[in-house]
Amino acid sequence: MSLRIAVSKGDGIGPEVIPEAQKILEHFLTDADFFEVELGLAKWEKTGSACSAEDIRELKGADAILFGAVTTPPDPNYRSVLLQIRHELDLYANLRPIQTLFSSDQGSPVDMMIVRENTEGLYSGIEEIGEGRSTTLRVVTKAGSRRIAEKACSLVLERNPDHPLVIGYKGNVLKSDLLFRDTCKEVAESYGIQTKAVFIDALCLDVLQHPKNYDVIITTNMFGDILSDVCGYLTGGLGMLSSANIGDTHTFFEPVHGSAPDIAGKGTANPVAAIRSAAMMLEYFGMKDEAHLVEESIQSVIRSGFLTPDLGGSASTAEFGSRVYESLSKK
């Protein structure tokens, strides 16, 4: 049976970058059935719902989802589509590779993986909003920590078993993080993997100063959100970072960047993050060589000096995407 891929372009620059990523998927997944699911703020304005129960059903029916970005207004009555999908599809592992494609001002190449717990922590959704006091419950469970630790450990074994698994946490202040740290250690020990627990604030600086000391980093939900943006500095910015949200039965691939309303509609957004997310999907389907080809093609276009404005050039989203596609077709 052919693969069914759901595509949601979303808001802002999403509809600009996603077609460039879809083109790459269509090149390799020639038999796949691509179908669109409209989600996000624009849909909410039109229909009063940013992601309906029917949308969730459609997403659940897909073998994988390619997602652009959605605008989330800081409105207490608006539920983040992304968080809704992560929860309803139980996409508990957010894998965020930090890999340089070219040598930037920051020096030599970097290659690490952030494993972000994606369903608990400060993103539990358990909140009480009041006039004089508002609270958000930070939830850490043994089962939730265990399953993300298992994912991180399998990545350590795949990538570099001699490298310790770094645990980003803040157990000196947040006692809930001691459960996270200890569970990660316990799981790692059962895999024969060394661990190093580092306070997240110190980690945010050290990862920039000594990126070569890191390979797989595991952390809780919000720390992973922040750490991945911090690490964007090492790769040339958020335009370069892709991610995979993985659960036991569903998968969802998206750029780490948001909908960037400030540059939306100009056709200048960098499509690399979206294209790399497509490459992560190929890898997930076991097409490692094809994923590698995509990475090489992006790299050769960037090395030739053809760059979007965020990297100092003047190429448009579509021009850059076409160059990558041409380079790929020649390989």
| Catalytically active residues, by annotation | 123, 170, 201, 225, 229
Which of these ranges, 217-225, 262-270, 281-289, 312-320, lies near Mg ion under the rule CB under 5 A?
A: 217-225
Does 136 contact ligand IPM by CB under 6 A? no
Shortest Å distance, C-beta 144 to ligand IPM: 16
Size of the site for Mg ion (CB under 5 A): 1
Q: How far apart are CA 197 and CA 216, in angstroms?
A: 12
Query: If we measure between CA atoms, which residue out of 129, 118, 124 comes closest to residue 75?
Result: 129
Q: Which does 113 bind (CB under 5 to 8 A by kind): Mg ion, ligand IPM, none?
A: none
Q: Burial-class residue 306 by CB neighbours within 10 Å (0-12, 13-18, 19+).
A: middle
Asked whether the beta carbons of 128 and 135 are under 8 A apart, the reply is: yes
Binding mask 169-208 for Mg ion (x = CB under 5 A): ----------------------------------------
Coil, strand or helix at 148: helix
How far is residue 295's CA from residue 101's CA, in Å, rounded to a whole number? Answer: 8
| Residue 299 touches ligand IPM, criterion: CB under 6 A | no
Residues 219-258 binding Mg ion (CB under 5 A) are 225
Contact 37, 248 (CB under 8 A): no
Which is nearer to Mg ion, 58 or 225 (by Cβ)?
225
> Is 258 a residue that touches ligand IPM (CB under 6 A)?
yes
Cβ-based nearer residue to Mg ion, 80 or 300: 80
User: Binds 100, which of ligand IPM, Mg ion, none (CB < 5 to 8 A, cut-off by type)?
Assistant: none
In angstroms, the CA 151 to CA 94 distance is 10
Residue 256 as a binder of ligand IPM (CB under 6 A): the answer is yes
CB-CB contact of 126 with 136 (8 Å) = yes
The correct pick among 18, 39, 82, 149 for binding ligand IPM (CB under 6 A) is 82
Percentage helix, strand, coil for the chain under 3-state DSSP, each rounded to 5: 45, 20, 35
Total residues contacting ligand IPM (rule CB under 6 A)?
7
Q: Are 218 and 203 in contact (CB under 8 A)?
A: no
Q: Among residues 28 and 123, whose Cβ is nearest to ligand IPM?
A: 123
If binding is defined by CB under 6 A, does position 277 make contact with ligand IPM?
Answer: no
User: Is 225 among the residues that bind ligand IPM (CB under 6 A)?
Assistant: yes
CA dihedral of 295, 301, 303, 308, whole degrees rounded to 10: -110
The tally of CA atoms less than 13 A away on the side-chain side of residue 273 is 33
Q: 80 or 136, CB closer to ligand IPM? A: 80
Query: What does the alpha-carbon distance between residue 43 and residue 171 come to, in Å, rounded to a whole number?
Result: 41
Say whether residue 80 binds ligand IPM (CB under 6 A): yes
d(CA 123, CA 41): 20
Distance of closest approach, residue 199 Cβ to Mg ion, in angstroms: 20
Q: Which does 71 bind (CB under 5 to 8 A by kind): Mg ion, ligand IPM, none?
A: none
Q: Is 72 in the site for ligand IPM (CB under 6 A)?
A: yes
- Site of interaction with Mg ion (CB under 5 A): 225
- Site of interaction with ligand IPM (CB under 6 A): 72, 80, 82-83, 225, 256, 258
